[in-house]
Structure 1
Amino acid sequence: MLINLIKNELVKAFYKKRTFISILLITFLIPIIIIAINKGAYSLQSRIYGQLEDSFIFIGSIINGYLATYIVITILISNMPFLYTIIPSEIISGEYQKGTFRIYLTRPPSRNLVLSSKLLYVILSTILIHFFFFIYTLIFALIILGPGDLAVYHKGLLFLGEGDVVFRFIASALISLPVMITVSILCFMFSSLSRNAVAPIILTISTIFIGSAISIIPIDLFEVINPYLFTGYINTFLVAFYDPIPFQEVLNTIFVTFIWSIIFIIITYYTFNKRDITE
């Protein structure tokens, strides 16, 4: 029964324009940024080297596909939560708005099964969009700029060998995935409480904005709270490019995001089962 419900969600998603918005935005935006990096390669390299150019002689260029991918991900990762809210924002609230719940929630599939199918679809779509973002960026950047060593900042200028870089990007995608799934589930929860598709997006982005502000503002109280908020781990993907990788921080990310995801899911199931579909 659950498999059939998931298939039903996939079929419905295929005919919704909003399903493809995130993919299309990524598809058109990434090439623009990478081509801009390619055009401004010299000035970018000078900024990275900084005053080191006065003391050392550098041979070759550090501007390559790996660095371009790293820059794009670093710039866009904090804005990616918006793209992950587009699908879950409407998946429940849209059904309420159209009145379709009045029809098929009175049939054999239980509310829990219907909700589970929607939740699994949201998680699946988040995973697909997330990995599409990383893989598409990496492939396009390598086509335009080619491979090479990756220069990043970690306790100074750190060079990661070309043979190690792909593993680092895979690790960064996996490390950042739990945070993005939590964002999608948060929006999914708001969707179960709303009757329009706009409110869940606004509420989710507002929550992330407040959480991000707490992680940035240097106040003692906020520094105590921040480790327990999933929003404080949005940029944790950067640890994949540290040497060595701080695995304790990765485990903290997984633990905190898992706890918040469970909380959001419990709230969603409770409110969905209590809601009057005839309203």
Structure 2
Amino acid sequence: MRKKSWLYLLPLVAGLLGASGSPGQAAAAESWSVTGVNSTGCASGDWNIDVFAANFDGNDYVMHTVVTSGGLVYMNEDAGSITNGSDTWGLYATETYGPTTGTYPIPAGQPMKVVLRVERPKGTVLSSWTMEAKSCDSATLLFNGSDLDDDRLSPPADKCPTRAGASANGCPVVTRALSVSKKSTPRRVTGRLRAPGQPAYAAKRKVRVWKVRPGPDKLVGVRTTTAKGTFSKRVRAGRYYVTTVAVLDPATGYAPPIRSRKVRVR
């Protein structure tokens, strides 16, 4: 719902918009963002926000607005298409995209989330912007930024922008195990890197073999794991362990660096 903005401007939380980008720095892809808050309230139509649209090349987009609070949907609008530039957007009771489950007024004292999705065709999300307010009657924003995977983290901090994750870099965490054993004739350190369900995180990966000694430990070799994650390194007598670095794939997730237990080769 668009209308002329005449209400006073309520301040956004400092730094939120700066961290998420400004209209003058819009990405090449289609984007639809919240740039200001004009009015708040818990009744239908009380909220009025400033929005900015960029890089739209036609009129066959679906501008999908969803307002949720307390697990209920209060607005679910298909606004059709939009033109590039600044505009204002009202938040109110509508079901032009799909059903709602909540009835205005929204209860105060709980977070309210507004999601602006750009879709083409309907159901295929090209970009998504999330604004979360402290309450329906508050202009204090807990989050305001591009968030396609709905994990409350925006690029560039979100290294996996299409895969939600609880890690600091916004990626799902891939669990790996690094086992190591010893052979005495000939002396070798052998082992295997495993990543259950994600074999690409274990195959053809570099592992480093370290010898324990007074002061800094000594790197005695680097090996590349086989397709099954195995490796072997001939060594002298001593105590050894193996490490491997982190792996990040924006499409699948993040595997932290890992270190094996120590073994003694005699």
Q: TM-score range by the shorter chain?
A: under 0.3
Greater C-alpha Rg: 2
Provide TM-score, normalisation by structure 2. 0.22
Higher strand share: 2
Higher helix share: 1
Q: Relative contact order, CA 8 A, sep 6+: which one is greater? A: 1
Provide TM-score, normalisation by structure 1. 0.21
